[in-house]
Amino acid sequence: MMFTLGELVQQTSSLAVSAFGFSGRTSRALIATESGGQNFVSLSLNGGRNGLNRSGSGSSLISSSNGIGSKAINRGAPLVVRAAESATPTKPQQKYPGEKKGFVEEMRFVAMKLHTKDQAKEGEKKSDSPPVAKWDPTIQGFLKFLVNNKVIYDCMEEIVEKAAYPAYAHFRNTGLERSAALAKDLDWLKSQGHEIPAPAEEGTSYAELLKNLSETDPPAFICHFYNVYFAHSAGGRMIGRKVCESVLDGKELEFYKWEGDLQALLSAVKEKLNLVAENWTREEKNHCLEQTELSFKYSGKLLRLIIS
Ligand code: HEM
- Domain around 65: 5-81
Confidence of residue 76 (pLDDT cuts 50, 70, 90): very low
Summarize pLDDT for 23-64 with one digit per residue, the tens: 222 333 323 333 333 333 333 333 334 334 454 433 334 333
Taking the centre of ligand 1 as the mean of its atom positions, its distance from the CA of residue 267, in whole angstroms, is 16
> In the prediction, which pLDDT does 13 show?
33
In a domain, 198, yes or no: yes
Q: Quick check: CB of 295 below 6 Å from ligand 1?
A: yes
Calpha distance 250→79 (Å, rounded): 61
Range with lowest mean pLDDT among 37-41, 94-98, 175-179: 37-41
pLDDT value at residue 240: 98
Average confidence (pLDDT) over 137-158: 98
79-81: strand order across its sheet: 17-18, 79-81, 28-33, 36-44
The pLDDT of residue 75 is above 60 = no
User: According to the model, what pLDDT value does residue 54 have?
Assistant: 52
196 has pLDDT over 90 = yes
Q: Judge if the beta carbon of residue 227 lies within 6 A of ligand 1.
A: yes
Does 111 lie in the same domain as 183? Answer: yes
Q: How far is the CA of 119 from the centre of ligand 1 (A)?
A: 7
Regarding whether 165 and 248 lie in a shared domain, the answer is yes
Please give the residue that has the higher pLDDT: either 275 or 55: 275
Domain edge (last residue) among 81, 115, 134: 81
Query: Which atom of ligand 1 is nearest the CA belonging to 226?
Result: 35
User: Which of 104, 105, 113, 119 should be mutated for ligand 1, with most atoms under 8 A from CB?
Assistant: 119
Domains of the chain: total:
2
Q: How confident is the model at residue 251 (pLDDT cuts 50, 70, 90)?
A: very high
CB 274 within 8 Å of CB 102: yes
CATH of the domain at 230: 1.20.910.10
How large is the average pLDDT for residues 69-74?
38
Share of the chain above pLDDT 70, in %: 69
Q: Does residue 87 lie in a domain region?
A: no
Work out the average pLDDT over 178-202.
98
pLDDT at 92: 63
Together in a domain, 244 and 290 = yes
At which of 81, 108, 127 does a domain end?
Answer: 81
Same domain (yes/no): 103, 203: yes
Within a domain: 90: no
Name the β-bridge partners of 41. Answer: 31
166 and 210 assigned to the same domain: yes
Strand, helix or coil for residue 107: helix
| Same domain? 285 vs 161 | yes
CB 35, CB 14: distance < 8 Å: no
Q: Is residue 154 part of a domain?
A: yes
275 Cα: distance to centroid of ligand 1 (angstroms): 23
Alpha-carbon distance 141 to 284, whole Å?
A: 37
Same domain, 176 and 247: yes
Residue 258 shares a structural domain with residue 193: yes
Ligand 1 within 6 A of CB of 230? yes
Residue nearest atom 24 of ligand 1, based on CA coordinates: 235
Q: Ligand 1 pocket, 108 CB below 6 A?
A: yes
Cα separation, 251 vs 1, whole angstroms:
45
Same domain for 112 and 62, yes or no, is no
Q: Which of 42-51, 213-222, 247-256 is predicted with the least confidence, judged by mean pLDDT?
A: 42-51
DSSP string, 270-291: HHHHHHHHHTS-HHHHHHHHHT
Residue 253 lies inside a defined structural domain of this protein: yes
Q: State the distance from the centre of ligand 1 to the C-alpha of 233, rounded, in angstroms.
A: 8
**Does the structure show a pLDDT above 50 at 79?**
no
Q: How many whole angstroms from 235 Cα to the centroid of ligand 1? A: 4
pLDDT at 93: 63
Residue 187 has pLDDT above 90, yes or no: yes
Where a domain ends, among 46, 81, 116? 81
What pLDDT is stored for residue 3 in this prediction? 37
Residues 268 and 138 grouped into a single domain: yes
Residue 226 C-beta-side C-alpha neighbours within 13 Å: 31
For 253: left if phi > 0, alpha if psi spans -120 to 50, otherwise beta; the answer is: beta
Q: Answer whether 132 contacts ligand 1 (Cβ < 6 A).
A: yes
Residue 92 lies in a domain: no
- 86 in a domain, yes or no? no
Ligand 1, atom 2, lies closest to the CA of: 119
Query: How many CA atoms are closer than 13 Å to the CA of 180, on its beta-carbon side?
Result: 7
How many alpha carbons lie under 13 Å from residue 95 in its C-beta half-sphere?
Answer: 11
Q: What is the pLDDT of residue 96?
A: 93
**C-alpha 187 to ligand 1 mean position (Å):** 28
* Residue 140 clears pLDDT 50, i.e. is over it: yes
Ligand 1 centroid distance, CA of 30 (Å): 35
The pLDDT of residue 128: 87
Least confident of 5-14, 131-140, 156-165, 166-175: 5-14
Residue having the nearest C-alpha atom to atom 33 of ligand 1: 231
* Residue 139, domain member (yes or no): yes
pLDDT of residue 259: 97
- Among candidate residues 283, 142, 264, the one with its CA nearest the CA of residue 219: 283
State the Rg of the chain over Cα: 22
Probe residue for ligand 1, chosen from 105, 110, 112 as the CB with the greatest number of ligand atoms within 8 Å: 112
Find all residues with CB under 8 Å of 64, minimum gap 6, and list them. Answer: 70, 71, 72, 279
Q: Are residues 116 and 64 in the same domain?
A: no
198: pLDDT strictly greater than 90: yes
Q: Are residues 68 and 107 in the same domain?
A: no
